[in-house]
Structure 1
Amino acid sequence: MPLQRLRLPRTGSRTQVDAPGEVPADVAADVPAESTGARRGVPAATVGRLPLYLQALHALADDSITTVSSQELAELVHVSAAMLRKDLSQLGTYGTRGVGYDVPTLVHEMSAVLGLEHDWPVAIVGVGNLGRALAHYGGFSSRGLSIAALFDADPAVVGTEVNGHVVHAVDDLAELVPARGVRIAVVATPAAAAQQTADRLVAAGITSILCFAGAALRVPDGVTVRAVDLSSELQILGFHEQRTRSAVLGPLRPPARLTNGVSR
């Protein structure tokens, strides 16, 4: 069965590469022999690409494909094979020359590095349209995550049920977060309430926050924040659309100015 390219974001340029499964000497020389040591020193850029690799590997496994070359896997996620091999070597994982990589082994290794071998409970604060959509998202369970609690500050929302979860008052954060072993939280509140929400989450024991509020959060050392600003992402796409249009049709002209209602 031919491999089908996944529609994933581009994370690097395509370059000429070595034979599938071959580990360049300059890469191997930089990587510790023990996989556990390699895991402790995995660069942030590599960690950022692991979910893309893992998504592609799950798709291969679903098609009963048990081995994949570095070239094939790299094409699925739109990176160079050299970058992919270097990323995998950071995990202490090397393919077999002429054969490639064992798909189940890679899934296991990446899941372990990303902490997906555990069932991580997640709290969502802010049960508006976005919070509700996240609560209904079915992809968390297959990635080692589960919704453990929903919180909102609106009395009209508190006590309602979303996808089988009762929405609790924000004032219950301090009690329910530690009681349910939650360490990861999603902030889906309005921007004005994001910092106060983050403060309450940290005080309750949260150490990892995914923020959709479009606000820059200040958190203590030891707390990780990942921000997703949808409007900024759309503006970036607008930049690329303008650049593409300009390359085809020429520079965009600014709107004509009006003087006394007449275009000049």
Structure 2
Amino acid sequence: MTGPDEQQIPEATIARLPGYLRVLNDFQAAGVTRVSSTDLAEAAGVQPALLRRDLSYFGSYGTRGVGYEVPLLVREIGLTTGGGTVWPVIMIGVGNLGRALATHGGLLQQDFKIVALVDVDPAVVGSTVGRRVVQHVDRLEELVAQYQPRIAIVATPAHAAQATCDRLVDAGITSILNFAPTGVVAPAHVTVRAVDLSQELRILAFHEARRVVASESATAQPVQPVQSAQSAQSAQEYVP
């Protein structure tokens, strides 16, 4: 999986790679050294044909009737997704969500390290969160220059998200993970990933609503036409 042209790889494929890596790590931790595409796809929640197509963008690592070598895929997908490198991250917005992200090591994993926390709230600035002292947003550009983060997490209120992203881009940040409940616009050379919890809940609610309708339709009793005794007698008399 070395040297693929990122521009030719579908965004949906890139988005599925971390899921494949998580499942492969679980297999490896369980002592599994080889896995079929069917078993790997089932664990990842995708169709086997889709998994094979995704992996084909990076080379041929599976053998028909034998499957994939788990350690090899762990290494190759890890390299493809930036594994083995500790990526410095700056976070802007240390409210409830930002605090949870900064203090929950499992969310960021070992390949990412928060190097600076930034907020505007005087009640938060100066406090220590996850062993980092929260700095005032006025120092944003200075902190980017000092710590050279490659990725920024924006967890600000919606009204501050666009201005924050503009400042990050101007400071040289090219990858932004946006948790603010609003969309942001960035130049073409900047990668923005949005995590909208309310949108994800709305999607789940859509599917639940469809299940409710389907369930009610399945349990509804068909209405039988009511026929009077006189009309029934007339029908019987009409039959030749």
**Displacement after TM superposition at 1:136 (Å):** 1.2
Counterpart in the other structure of 1:247: 214
Q: Deviations over 1:3-58 (max 9, x none)?
A: xxxxxxxxxxxxxxxxxxxxxxxxxxxxxxx8424666322121111011011001
Name the TM-score, length of structure 1 as normaliser.
0.78
Q: 1:215 aligns with which of 173, 182, 189?
A: 182
The answer (yes or no) to whether the contact 2:99–2:129 under 8 Å persists in 1 is yes
Q: 2:134 aligns with which of 150, 167, 171?
A: 167
**Judging changes above 3 Å, is the alpha-carbon distance between structure 1 residues 200 and 235 closer, same or farther for their aligned structure 2 residues?**
same
Instruction: Indicate the SS of the match to 1:36.
Output: coil
The answer (yes or no) to whether the contact 2:2–2:80 under 8 Å persists in 1 is no
Output the CA distance in 2 between the equivalents of 1:38 and 1:67: 27
Counterpart in the other structure of 1:183: 150
Output the CA distance in 2 between the equivalents of 1:240 and 1:141: 29
The answer (yes or no) to whether the contact 1:186–1:209 under 8 Å persists in 2 is yes
Corresponding letter in the other structure for 2:202: Q
Corresponding letter in the other structure for 2:156: T
Name the TM-score, length of structure 2 as normaliser.
0.86
Q: 2:70 aligns with which of 89, 94, 103?
A: 103
**Judging changes above 3 Å, is the alpha-carbon distance between structure 1 residues 37 and 163 closer, same or farther for their aligned structure 2 residues?**
closer
The answer (yes or no) to whether the contact 1:120–1:144 under 8 Å persists in 2 is yes
The answer (yes or no) to whether the contact 1:39–1:92 under 8 Å persists in 2 is no
- Using the aligned pairs only, state the percent identity: 53
Output the CA distance in 2 between the equivalents of 1:225 and 1:39: 16
The answer to which of 177-186 and 140-149 deviates more is 140-149
Counterpart in the other structure of 1:24: none
Structure possessing the higher radius of gyration over alpha carbons: 2
What does 1:1-264 align with in structure 2 at a 5 Å threshold?
35-37=2-4, 41-140=8-107, 142-250=109-217
**Displacement after TM superposition at 1:141 (Å):** 5.5
**Judging changes above 3 Å, is the alpha-carbon distance between structure 1 residues 236 and 39 closer, same or farther for their aligned structure 2 residues?**
closer
Output the CA distance in 2 between the equivalents of 1:232 and 1:140: 20
Output the CA distance in 1 between the equivalents of 2:62 and 2:73: 10
The answer (yes or no) to whether the contact 1:151–1:169 under 8 Å persists in 2 is yes
The answer (yes or no) to whether the contact 2:101–2:108 under 8 Å persists in 1 is no
**Displacement after TM superposition at 1:143 (Å):** 4.9
Corresponding letter in the other structure for 2:164: T
**Judging changes above 3 Å, is the alpha-carbon distance between structure 1 residues 39 and 204 closer, same or farther for their aligned structure 2 residues?**
closer
> How many residue pairs get matched?
218
Counterpart in the other structure of 2:227: none
* Runs of 4+ displaced beyond 4 Å: none
Corresponding letter in the other structure for 1:216: G
The answer to which of 194-203 and 94-103 deviates more is 94-103
The answer (yes or no) to whether the contact 1:119–1:146 under 8 Å persists in 2 is yes
More helix per residue: 2
Q: Deviations over 1:146-205 (max 9, x none)?
A: 111110001121110011111011111111112212021111010001111111111221
**Judging changes above 3 Å, is the alpha-carbon distance between structure 1 residues 93 and 179 closer, same or farther for their aligned structure 2 residues?**
farther
